[in-house]
Structure 1
C-alpha cells in the first residue's frame, strides 16, 4: 500500500465508536473567538503560521469533545486547546532544556503566577484559562489538571524528544509506555468532570480499575491519532512516534500490514476498556459519576475521530496543513 492510497477512514470511519457523535451548539462563536485569539494574542507566530492555525478549525475539536457544555464552561477549554496544540507544535525541534523551561513556567502560571510584561499571549492565555476554570471548578480539580499537564509534558514530550532527534523509533513495548503520555490527553480527561461539576474523589481516581480505564482511554486516542496523522508524519523523517511506523520497524512489514496490526491493538484496548467498565460496578455511591466520566470521555473519543475525518486540514498528506516551527525557542523562555 503506497502512501497516496492510504485513507484513515478505511480503518476508523465516522461513527466507529459506541457513543453518540455530537457537537456543541456554540461552535460558531468558538470559531470567532479562536480566530480573534490567533490574530491578536498569538502574534509571536508568523502570519503564515497564524493562517494555518485558523484553517485547522481547532474549535471543532473542542466543540466535539464537549458537546453539552455551556459557553462559559467551554471558553477556557477552547483556549487550552489552542494553547496546548501550539505549544506542542512549537516544541517540535526544541532541546530538553528548552522543554523543561517551558514546562516549569507554564506550570507556575497555572498554579498562580502572573505572566510578565515581556511574555507573549501564550502565557497570558494560560493565566486567563486558569482563572476561568476556577470560576466554576474547585481547587481540587485545578490541582489535578495541573498535575496532568505537568506529567504529560515531563513524561511525554520530554521522553520522546531524544528519539525524534535521532530519527529512530523505540521498541514497541517502550513506545506504548511513552505514547500514553506523549499523546498529551491526560489533561483532557479532567474535562469529563466539567459538565457534572463533580470531581471524582481521590480514593476513586486512584483505584486500580479506574486508573486502568483512564490509561486505556488515552491509549485509544493515541492509536486513533496515529492513524489520522500518518499521512502528515510520513513526510517528515523525525516523526517516528507513530504506532504504525513503530510496527513497521519492529516487524519489518509493509505499511498495510502495520495498519492491520495497529487496528488490532486499537480494538483490543477499546474492548478492554469497555469490558472493565461493564464488569466492574463496585464504586458504590460514586458509580453514577464514574458512569458519567466514562460516557463523557466516550463522547470525546467519538468527537475527535469526527474532527479528524471532516473538520480539519491539520493532517493533510505531506504535512502541508501542519504548522512546523520556524524558529527555536530563545533562552529567556519566551516563544
Structure 2
C-alpha cells in the first residue's frame, strides 16, 4: 500500500461505534461564532492560517461530540475546541521552555488570573472559557476540568517534545503511556457531564474502575486520531508520534501491516472499555451517573470519528493543516 492509497474510512467508517451519531441543532450558529473568533480575535495567526482553520470547521467536532448541549453550553465548549487545537498546532516549533511557560500561564488564567491586554487570543479566550463554565457548572467540575487540562499538557505535549526534536519515537510501551495524554482528550471527555447534568462526585470519579474506563476511552480516541491523521503526518515527513510509525519502527512492518495492527490495537482498547463497563455494576445509587457518563463519552467518540471523515484538517499532503509559520506571533 502506498501513502496515496491509504484511506482512513477503510478502517473507521461512519457509525463504527455502538453509540448514536448525532449533531447539535445549534451547529450553524456555532460555526458563525467560531468564524467570528478566528477573524476578530485570532489575529496572532497569519491570514492563511485563519482561512485554513475556518475550512477545518472545528465547530462540527464540538457539535458532533456534544449534540445535547444547549446553545449557552456550546459556547465555552466550542471556544475551547478552537483554543486547544490552535494551541497544540502552533507550539509545534516552540522550545520546551516556551511550551512550559504557555502551560503555566494558561493554568494560572483558568485558576483566576486575568490575561494582560497584550496577550493573544489563546490567553484571552482561556479567561472567557473559565468564566463561561463557572456560570453554569459547579466548582468541583471546573477544578476537574482545570486538572485534566494541566495533566494533558504537562504529561502529553511536554513529554512528546524530546522525541519530536530527535525525530525518533519511543518504544511502543512508553509511547502508549504518553499518547494517552498527548491526544489531549481528557478535558474534552468530561464535557459530557455538562450534557448529562450529572456531575460525578469525587469518590466516584476517582474510583479505579471509572479512571480505567477514562483511560480506555482516551486511548480509543488516540488510536482513532492516529488512523485518521496519518495522511497529514506522512506528508510532514518528520512526525514520530503516531501509532503506525511506532509499530513500523518496533516491528519493521510495511505501511499496510502497521495500519492493520494499529486498527487491531484500537479495537482491543474498545473491547476492554465495553467489557469493563458491562461487568462492574457496583456503583449503587451512582450507577446511573456512571452509565450516563460512559454513554455521553461514547457519543463523543462516535462524533469525533464522523468529524474526522468530514474535515479538511487531515487531507493527504497536509494541505488542510494550519502549519506553524514564522510570522505567527505566539
Please, what TM-score do these two structures have when normalized by structure 1? 0.97
8 Å contact kept, 2:46–2:327: no
> For 2:195 and 2:157, how far apart are their aligned partners in 1?
29
Instruction: Tell me what 1:196 maps to.
Output: 196
> For 2:4 and 2:83, how far apart are their aligned partners in 1?
31
Query: 1:227-255 CA deviation, whole Å, 9 max, x = no partner?
Result: 00000001123311000111011100100
> For 1:283 and 1:202, how far apart are their aligned partners in 2?
13
Instruction: Tell me what 2:165 maps to.
Output: 165
> For 1:196 and 1:183, how far apart are their aligned partners in 2?
24
8 Å contact kept, 1:41–1:122: no
> For 1:163 and 1:137, how far apart are their aligned partners in 2?
38
Query: 1:29-54 CA deviation, whole Å, 9 max, x = no partner?
Result: 00000000000000010000000000
> For 1:8 and 1:215, how far apart are their aligned partners in 2?
23
For structure 2, list consecutive stretches of 5 or more residues without a partner in the other structure.
none
Instruction: Tell me what 2:22 maps to.
Output: 22
> For 2:287 and 2:76, how far apart are their aligned partners in 1?
28
The 5 A counterparts of 1:66-215 are 66-215=66-215
> For 1:264 and 1:15, how far apart are their aligned partners in 2?
18
> For 1:161 and 1:237, how far apart are their aligned partners in 2?
16
8 Å contact kept, 1:137–1:197: no
Matched, 1:271 2:261: no
For structure 1, list consecutive stretches of 5 or more residues without a partner in the other structure.
none
Q: Aligned with 2:195: secondary structure?
A: coil
Deviation at 1:197, TM superposition (A): 2.3
Matched, 1:50 2:50: yes
> For 1:138 and 1:55, how far apart are their aligned partners in 2?
35
> For 1:122 and 1:232, how far apart are their aligned partners in 2?
24
Deviation at 1:188, TM superposition (A): 0.7
8 Å contact kept, 2:196–2:296: no
> For 1:121 and 1:247, how far apart are their aligned partners in 2?
37
> For 2:48 and 2:169, how far apart are their aligned partners in 1?
31
> For 1:270 and 1:260, how far apart are their aligned partners in 2?
15
Deviation at 1:199, TM superposition (A): 1.7
Deviation at 1:328, TM superposition (A): 8.3
Query: 1:98-154 CA deviation, whole Å, 9 max, x = no partner?
Result: 010000000000011111111122211111111111111011101010000001000
8 Å contact kept, 1:65–1:300: yes
Q: Aligned with 1:135: secondary structure?
A: helix
Deviation at 1:205, TM superposition (A): 1.2
> For 2:322 and 2:219, how far apart are their aligned partners in 1?
24
4+ runs deviating over 2 angstroms: none
Deviation at 1:196, TM superposition (A): 2.4
Q: Aligned with 2:236: secondary structure?
A: coil
Instruction: Tell me what 2:320 maps to.
Output: 321
The two structures, once aligned, show a CA RMSD in angstroms of 1.0
Which is worse superposed, 156-165 or 121-130? 121-130
> For 2:122 and 2:207, how far apart are their aligned partners in 1?
35
> For 1:174 and 1:271, how far apart are their aligned partners in 2?
22
8 Å contact kept, 1:64–1:303: yes
8 Å contact kept, 1:157–1:182: yes
Deviation at 1:210, TM superposition (A): 0.9
Which is worse superposed, 118-127 or 276-285? 118-127
Deviation at 1:95, TM superposition (A): 1.1
> For 1:37 and 1:30, how far apart are their aligned partners in 2?
11
> For 2:123 and 2:153, how far apart are their aligned partners in 1?
16
Instruction: Tell me what 2:227 maps to.
Output: 227
8 Å contact kept, 2:164–2:239: yes
Please, what TM-score do these two structures have when normalized by structure 2? 0.98
